[in-house]
Chains A and B, each alone.
Chain A
Amino acid sequence: DVQVVESGGGLVQPGGSLRLSCVASGFMYSTHWMTWVRQAPGKGLEWVARIKHDGSEKYYVDSVKGRFIISRDNAKNSLYLQMNSLRAEDTGIYYCARVITMIGICSWLDPWGQGTLVTVSS
């Protein structure tokens, strides 16, 4: 089965750090862009970051630039999100997803993991 599984969420104080992980299986991980999407409690989906298959390109939503770092280890089929200087507004469920790209046509997210909850609170 093609799947991605997140871990690493938890309770952290404002200003603190947390590292999320996502392990992929069932597909050729090293050939796909990967992405993180988050969802604040009771709110909609927010795209957070994405990384090219070889790690050479990374893009972030403005609200996390300079605080979050997306990375990957293709030898371990793993994706990471290092979150620093965390704020209360970073609270939410963080989803990892595979990006499927049809060049010149579109890119889409499938599958998604079950998510990992990050709570930033004192």
Chain B
Amino acid sequence: DIQMTQSPSSLSASVGDRVTITCRASQSISGYLNWYQQKPGKAPKLLIYAASSLQTGVPSRFSGSGSGTDFTFTISSLKPEDFATYYCQHSYTTPTWTFGQGTKVEIK
């Protein structure tokens, strides 16, 4: 099975900060990588699919990049509503899929 290692597990940031989260796959997954946002008590929400494609309706301050084993998720200028937990997920052509451990973005 492909393992996804996400870092950091948590971070503290201020409104307006640039935030970067990384996700590393245990083997190459090409661009089969997605990013989700989850707020407390809510279902996850798709933000980025296929490593760098922005889901319709998602603000452009969110972006993703990478291919192969190393991926990056960036919030260019943090807004109050962005404080949440973010997960990467691979959907490579293997039977099973996995999520990263999550990154909790907290207010500094």
A: contact size bracket: 20 to 34
Whether B43 lies near A95 (C-beta < 8 A) is yes
Give the residues in chain A near B83, CB-CB below 8 Å. none
Assuming the contacts A44-B87, A44-B102, A59-B96, asked whether A105 and B44 have C-beta atoms less than 8 A apart, the reply is no
B interface secondary structure, majority: loop
* Min CB–CB distance A71 → chain B (angstroms): 17
Q: A107 in the interface, Cβ–Cβ < 8 Å? A: yes
Whether B50 is near chain A, meaning CB under 8 Å from some CB there, is yes
* Cβ-defined contact, A106 with B51, below 8 A: yes
Provide the bound-state CA to CA distance between A108 and B87, in Å.
Answer: 13
Segment among A14-22, A24-32, A79-87, A109-117 that sits at the interface with chain B: A109-117
CB distance from A34 to the nearest CB of B (A): 13
Q: How far is the CA of A76 from the CA of B49 in the complex (A)?
A: 29
Q: Which of A35, A62, A109 has the most CB of B within 10 A?
A: A109
A45 touches B102 (CB 8 A): yes
Within A53-99, the residues touching B (CB, 8 Å) are 59-62, 95, 99
Q: How far is the CA of A61 from the CA of B89 in the complex (A)?
A: 14
Q: When the two chains form their complex, are residues A105 and B31 in contact, meaning their CB atoms are under 8 A apart?
A: yes
List chain A residues, Cβ under 8 A from B99.
37, 44-47
A106: B residues at CB distance < 8 A: 31-34, 49-51, 91
Cβ distance A16 to chain B, nearest Cβ, rounded Å: 26
Q: How far is the CB of A98 from chain B (nearest CB, A)?
A: 10
Q: How far is the CA of A109 from the CA of B55 in the complex (A)?
A: 11
CA distance A112 to B1 in the complex (A): 24
- Closest Cβ of chain A: how far from B31's Cβ, in Å? 6
Distance of B89 from chain A, by nearest CB (Å): 7
Chain A residues in 8 Å Cβ range of B75? none
A binding-site residues for B, Cβ under 8 Å: 35, 37, 44-47, 50, 59-62, 95, 99-100, 102, 105-115
5 A-B residue pairings within 8 Å (CB atoms):
A44-B99, A46-B99, A62-B96, A107-B91, A112-B45
